[in-house]
Amino acid sequence: MTTSIQDIKQVIEEMIPFDLFLGMKVEEARPGYARIRLPYRPEFIGDPRRPALHGGILSTLIDTCGGTAVWASCEVQDRVATIDLRVDYLRPAPPEDVLAEAEVKLLGNRVGNSSVRIFAASKPELTLAEGRGVYNIRKA
């Protein structure tokens, strides 16, 4: 049985200290797809002159969402870890909630690959950053 959204929400929203600290919220997760919201906090601003969210916040969201989409395609007891992550920052992320959507492009026995896009809650049609994650799948 694949990992349920309840399992995913519990792990990301309650068990992983870094995700809990950032306040990530899983909005949707199913085999091959995940959507995660990162509620805005002023501490996320990287350049107060713009203001724009720090790129590290966006790359963390890309990594977490991409891995979640892969994990949602696996068994709940399987472990997923990042092998490689690429991020393209396309435009400044405004000071508001941002969301990431990830789609699994390839899922093998040991490796999964996902494509992720980030957008502001107020303008879902405008991509702020996109990334690609490669994840090791360790079967339990």
Give the per-residue pLDDT at 3.
78
pLDDT tens digits, 67-108: 999 999 999 899 999 999 999 999 999 999 999 999 999 999
CB atoms within 10 A of CB 115: 17
Report the alpha-carbon distance of residue 124 to residue 24 in Å, rounded.
18
Q: What's the pTM?
A: 0.95
How do the domains of the chain map onto residue ranges? Answer: 5-138
Q: What is the DSSP letter of 44?
A: G
Mean pLDDT, the chain, rounded, equals 96
Pairing mode, strands 52-53 and 79-89: unpaired
Report the alpha-carbon distance of residue 112 to residue 90 in Å, rounded.
24
pLDDT tens digits, 28-78: 999 999 999 999 999 999 989 999 999 999 999 999 999 999 999 999 899
Mean pLDDT of 14-24: 95
| CATH code of domain 5-138 | 3.10.129.10
